Amino acid sequence: MDVTADWLARLPKTELHLHIEGTLEPELMFALAQRNGVRLPYDSVEAVRAAYDFANLQSFLDLYYAGAGVLLTEQDFYDLTAAYLLRCRADRVVHTELFFDPQTHTARGVPYATVLAGIRRALTDAHEQFAISSKLILCFLRHLSEEEGFATLREAEPYLDLIDGVGLDSSEVGHPPEKFARLFARCKALGLPRVAHAGEEGPPDYVWQALDLLDVCRIDHGVRALEDPALVDELKRRRIPLTVCPLSNIRLKVFQRLSDHNLRALLEAGLVATVNSDDPAYFGGYVGENWRACAAALQLTRAELKQLAVNGFTGSWLPEVEQARWIAEIEAM
């Protein structure tokens, strides 16, 4: 293999599929619980880690929402986001587009403005201190109703200058994208770029719905798209990026082993596949670990890894001049 650890470490990277609540490490979870007087259903950090053996997406989400209960103040959201951005710096992630789930917090009585202020302050500090650029995507929880999504959007409208786009996440099966067609039409009218989780546990039809009914510019996951040749052709024609999360797919049993993952097949099909970490505190790896694990398990070449890195920039919401600057650095490696 022509890929060295040093070369991979120096490769400029993006992260386009990252749930900030999913970066809550057990150590920080316990620290925030103590700071805020929140009682956790676990005795120790080790007990939390032992619970990270998920049978499927829903078993993960149950723990994910329980852990989020320790996030109460602006400083909590700042500390959470700042810790993630330090990981970005270590992994040479120079641009990140991260999700946050306001409904997870407002349902517990945490004001929307509190969540947004803490995250935004950390993003600003990381840009000033580490030159890490970022975009922030408000995600609607698909296991809740479209009416609840509209309520969240109304709450967010005074702060839309601080939001770069909207997404759709949480339990995929049984909650097709079409459930949120009116909500996403309203977001489009407001000028908000749109992305959606589809084609992870859900079928290729969910990807079609996200494209045709939600008018998204990016598909989060999308690994099941290869089951539908017509869908592959459409994704290629429109150059729709797929934000693939390999280690997450293994933890949630989408694939049994990383060597079985279809990341290379997505590339070979001409799709704009990218590498991301999803919920790294729960799924055993931040984005650098996803890159290293895929390079080894799939025996990816430098050319394939460079293509994945380029895809991350072309699939991002960075201005074209910024994309070109980073792509030039990648091509020169």
pLDDT at 166: 98
pLDDT at 262: 98
Summarised one tens digit per residue, pLDDT across range 202-248 is 999 999 999 999 999 999 999 999 999 999 999 999 999 999 999 99
Task: Check if the beta carbon of residue 244 is closer than 8 Å to that of residue 222.
Answer: yes
pLDDT averaged per 10 residues in sequence order, the chain, 333 residues? 89 98 93 93 86 76 84 98 98 98 95 97 98 98 97 97 97 95 98 98 97 98 98 98 97 94 98 97 93 97 98 98 98 95
* CB-based contacts of 311, cutoff 8 Å, min separation 6: 241, 272, 273, 274
Nearest alpha carbon to residue 301 among 328, 263, 329, 270: 263
Task: Check if the beta carbon of residue 22 is closer than 8 Å to that of residue 278.
Answer: yes
Q: How far from each other are the two terminal CA atoms of the chain, in whole angstroms?
A: 16
21 in active site: no
Catalytic entry in 15, 21, 25, 200:
200
Q: What is the dihedral of CA 204, 207, 213, 218, to 10 degrees?
A: -170
For the chain, list the domains and their CATH numbers. Answer: 5-332 (3.20.20.140)
Burial of 154 (0-12, 13-18, 19+ CB in 10 A): exposed
pLDDT at 235: 98
Task: Check if the beta carbon of residue 198 is closer than 8 Å to that of residue 222.
Answer: yes
Task: Check if the beta carbon of residue 100 is closer than 8 Å to that of residue 138.
Answer: yes
Separation CA 309–CA 295 (nearest Å): 12
pLDDT at 181: 98
Summarised one tens digit per residue, pLDDT across range 33-80 is 999 999 988 888 888 888 777 777 787 777 888 789 999 999 999 999
